Structure 1
Amino acid sequence: MKGECNCGAVSFEVTGPVMGVIQCHCSLCRRYTGTANISVVLADRADFHWRSGADKVSHWRHPEADWESAFCQVCGSPAPGDNDEDRVFIPAGILSEGVDDLKVIHHIFVGSKAGWDEIGDEGEQHDTRIGVKS
């Protein structure tokens, strides 16, 4: 699986499996993307490799929440970041290869989704965060 930002300054590959797409519907992710949710996949840290531009990724941590964004300094595209000590989150929209079999498996923070957001797939819905294992 490979991916890159809009300008190509940041690129990466994943050499192991990912579990499927998780969509977060919280207000922080809505503001980060400007859409109803963010769609991410989780990869084991050992399977994630920067191909270029790791030094071009900036991070912003919310001062009051356990939430961090990562983005390309050049074009502003979302970028992979730390999910927890074992895994990296990867915005699904920046994946360019190896995505044909991906599908949404979880929706998190459905309890705070926007009123206009309609979930139309078979992903399992959770009102808040879930502990997911790959």
Structure 2
Amino acid sequence: MAAFRGSCLCGEIAFEVEGPLDRFLNCHCSRCRKATGTAHSCEVIVRAEALRWLRGEASVARFDLPNARSFATAFCKLCGSPMPHLTRSGREAIIHAGAFDEKLDAAPDRHVHWASRADWYVHGDGLPVED
């Protein structure tokens, strides 16, 4: 089974996810937009036991939104990069796809909370791609 490694921008934190990647989605909810500063979050969801910290776990800060049933986020205390976190139930880990260091050989297969998407977001708008 494939293992996928990831890290934060400053390199303080590194993690590994043992495949398979159970779900891969784009979330358009207003909370994910606020937490990422983007039109949507792009998340990989795996079993909690598939996530393993390689270094820097103590540098991960977690924020659980008060009064929210399930929303949480985690980030590097030094550089602010989004980092993996367990769901409140502890059964799954959520990883922002951009935190992976290597090719995933997978792509998001759905948009969730589509009705909440940003009014300026246009899906498949044909804009140029920059590397």
**TM-score > 0.5 by shorter chain:** yes
Partner of 2:14: 11
Counterparts of 1:98 and 1:50, CA distance in 2:
19
Partner of 1:95: 100
Q: CA RMSD in A?
A: 1.5
Q: Cα distance, 1:67 vs. partner?
A: 0.6
SS at match of 1:69: strand
Code of the aligned partner of 2:77: Q
Partner of 1:2: 5
TM-score, scaled relative to structure 2: 0.85
Post-superposition CA distance 1:77-98 (Å, at most 9, x none): 0000013432100100010124
Moved over 2 A (4+): none
Is the contact between residue 26 and residue 42 of structure 2 (CA under 8 Å) also seen in structure 1?
Answer: yes
Runs of at least 5 residues in structure 1 that lack an aligned partner in the other structure? 121-134
**Higher mean displacement: 39-48 or 14-23:** 14-23
> Is structure 2 residue 31 aligned with structure 1 residue 61?
no
Matches within 5 A, 1:1-134: 1-65=4-68, 66-83=70-87, 84-99=89-104, 101-120=105-124
> What percent identity do the matched residue pairs reach?
36
Counterparts of 2:23 and 2:123, CA distance in 1:
16
Post-superposition CA distance 1:23-59 (Å, at most 9, x none): 1101111111111011010111122110011110001
Runs of at least 5 residues in structure 2 that lack an aligned partner in the other structure? 125-131
Is the contact between residue 62 and residue 74 of structure 2 (CA under 8 Å) also seen in structure 1?
Answer: yes
Code of the aligned partner of 2:108: V
TM-score, scaled relative to structure 1: 0.83
Is the contact between residue 36 and residue 117 of structure 1 (CA under 8 Å) also seen in structure 2?
Answer: yes
Code of the aligned partner of 1:21: F
